[in-house]
C-alpha cells in the first residue's frame, strides 16, 4: 500500500521522491505527473512483466510531451539504493524489476519504456516481435496490414498477438520457446516479409531507407539484434491522446481501431475486463519452419 509524505511516495517499504506533482505531462489529456504516477501503478503488474530483467531504455520529457526530450540508456546519477542496474557494451542500464523503480522513473518524466529483446546477461531473444512501421504519419491501413501478417503466421501454425505501438505503428508478438537465436528469427522474418510483400506489393515494403518507401508500410524483420529495443507492451507514449501500447485480439484488429483508442485514461478498465491478452499465448516452437527454410533452394 502506498502513502504520500513530504513530497514522496512510500511503497513496498521504499520512499520514492515526487517532484512537481502538478506538472502537466499530457496537456490535452489533462494528465499531471501525479496522475501519471497513479496510472503507472495501475499498469505496473503488466508493464513490469515485459520489462523484467531486461536492459531498459527510457525516453524522458521533463517539460511534458511537447517539450524537449532525450533517450536515457545510461542510468542517471545519483541512483537510489533500490535501483538495480546491469552493464552491457559499456552502458549501465536500469533494470526495472519493481514498482518503486517504475515510479522513480515516472517521477523523472520517463514516459516511454523500451526494453531489450533479450534478458540481462543473455544473448537469446525473449520473443519474436514483428514491427510494422508506417512511412506516412497517419496510416489508416496499418490494421489491414497487420491482419494479413496474422493470417500468414496462422498458416505457419503460429499463434500471435498484435499490439499497437501507441504511436503510428503496430507490432505482432509471437511467443517462442527459448533457445532460438536472433539470426534464426531474422531468417524467418525475412521469409514472412518477402512473402507478404510479394502478395501485397502496394501495401508492404522491405526497403530500409524511408525515402525509398513511398507510402508503403515497412515490414522490419531486421530489428532482432542484441541491444535493440522496441516499445514494451503497456508502455505509455508521448502522444496527445496519452496512448498506451496495447495488445489486441485479432477480431479487434478487423474493426480497424485507432491506436489513440487505447490510452492512460481507459487502459485500466480494459485490463480489468480483458486482462493481459499476451499471457494467454504459450511459447511455441519454430523448429519445423527453420528446418524448411534451411533446405537448399528455399528463402
From the CB of residue 225, how many other CB atoms can be counted at a distance below 10 Å?
14
Task: Read off the C-alpha cell for 177.
Answer: 520457446
pLDDT score for 5: 46
Confidence band, pLDDT 50/70/90 cuts, at residue 299: low
Which CATH class for the 5-119 domain?
alpha beta
Helices (runs of H) and strands (runs of E) counted in the chain: 7, 15
CA-wise closest residue to 290 among 199, 197, 156, 174: 156
Q: Residues 284-295: what's their mean pLDDT?
A: 93
* Every domain range in the chain assigned CATH 3.90.920.10: 5-119, 128-294
Q: How far is CA 19 from the centre of its chain?
A: 27
Which residues have CB under 8 Å from 78's CB, separation 6+?
none
Highest-pLDDT range among 49-53, 165-169, 295-299: 49-53
pLDDT digits (tens, 9 = 90+) for 267-286: 999 999 999 999 999 999 99
112 φ/ψ sector (left φ>0, alpha ψ -120 to 50, else beta): beta
Task: Read off the C-alpha cell for 8.
Answer: 514522496
Residues listed for the chain: 299
From the CB of residue 7, how many other CB atoms can be counted at a distance below 10 Å?
11
Give one DSSP letter per residue of 140-153, joined into a string.
Answer: TTHHHHHHHHHHHH
Report pTM: 0.93
pLDDT > 60? residue 1: no
Residue with cell 520517463: 110
Confidence band, pLDDT 50/70/90 cuts, at residue 297: low
Confidence band, pLDDT 50/70/90 cuts, at residue 257: very high
Residues 128-294: name the CATH superfamily.
DNA primase, PRIM domain (3.90.920.10)
pLDDT > 60? residue 3: no
DSSP letter at 239 equals: S
Residue-averaged pLDDT of the chain: 93
CA-wise closest residue to 230 among 128, 86, 107, 139: 128
Task: Read off the C-alpha cell for 289.
Answer: 519452419
For 289-298, the CB contacts below 8 A with 24+ separation are 289/156, 289/188, 289/191, 290/180, 290/184, 290/187, 290/188, 293/187, 293/188, 293/191
Which residues have CB under 8 Å from 263's CB, separation 6+?
29, 241, 242, 243, 244
pLDDT digits (tens, 9 = 90+) for 55-93: 999 999 999 999 999 999 999 988 999 999 999 999 999
Torsion sign over Cα 240, 274, 174, 182:
positive
3-class SS at 263? strand
CA pair distance 56, 7, nearest whole angstrom: 26
Amino acid at each position: 500500500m502506498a502513502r504520500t509524505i513530504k513530497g514522496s511516495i512510500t511503497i513496498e517499504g521504499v520512499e520514492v521522491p515526487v517532484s512537481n506533482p502538478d506538472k502537466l505531462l499530457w496537456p490535452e489529456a489533462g494528465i499531471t505527473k501525479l496522475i501519471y504516477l497513479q496510472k503507472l501503478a495501475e499498469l505496473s503488474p503488466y508493464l513490469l512483466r515485459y520489462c523484467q530483467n531486461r536492459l531498459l531504455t527510457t525516453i524522458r520529457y521533463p517539460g511534458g510531451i511537447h517539450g524537449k526530450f532525450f533517450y536515457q540508456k545510461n542510468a542517471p546519477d545519483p541512483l537510489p539504493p533500490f535501483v538495480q542496474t546491469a552493464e552491457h557494451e559499456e552502458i549501465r542500464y536500469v533494470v526495472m524489476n519493481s514498482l518503486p523503480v517504475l515510479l522513480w522513473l515516472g517521477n523523472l518524466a520517463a514516459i516511454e519504456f523500451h526494453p531489450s529483446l533479450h534478458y540481462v546477461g543473455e544473448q537469446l531473444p525473449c520473443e519474436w516481435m514483428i514491427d510494422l512501421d508506417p512511412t506516412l504519419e497517419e496510416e489508416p491501413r496499418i490494421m489491414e496490414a497487420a491482419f494479413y501478417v496474422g493470417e500468414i503466421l496462422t498458416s505457419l501454425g503460429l499463434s500471435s498477438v498484435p499490439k499497437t505501438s501507441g504511436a503510428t505503428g503496430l507490432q505482432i508478438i509471437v511467443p517462442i520457446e527459448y533457445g532460438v537465436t536472433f539470426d534464426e528469427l531474422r531468417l524467418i522474418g525475412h521469409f514472412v516479409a518477402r512473402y507478404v510483400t510479394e502478395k501485397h506489393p502496394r501495401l508492404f515494403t522491405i526497403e530500409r531507407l524511408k525515402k525509398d518507401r513511398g507510402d508503403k508500410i515497412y515490414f522490419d524483420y531486421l530489428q532482432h539484434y542484441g541491444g535493440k529495443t522496441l516499445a514494451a507492451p503497456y508502455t505509455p507514449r508521448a502522444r496527445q491522446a496519452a496512448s498506451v501500447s496495447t495488445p489486441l485480439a485479432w477480431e479487434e484488429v478487423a474493426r480497424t481501431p485507432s491506436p489513440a483508442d487505447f490510452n492512460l485514461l481507459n487502459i485500466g478498465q480494459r485490463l480489468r475486463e480483458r486482462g493481459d491478452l499476451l499471457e494467454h499465448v504459450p511459447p511455441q516452437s519454430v523448429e519445423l519452419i527453420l528446418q524448411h527454410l534451411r533446405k537448399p533452394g528455399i528463402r
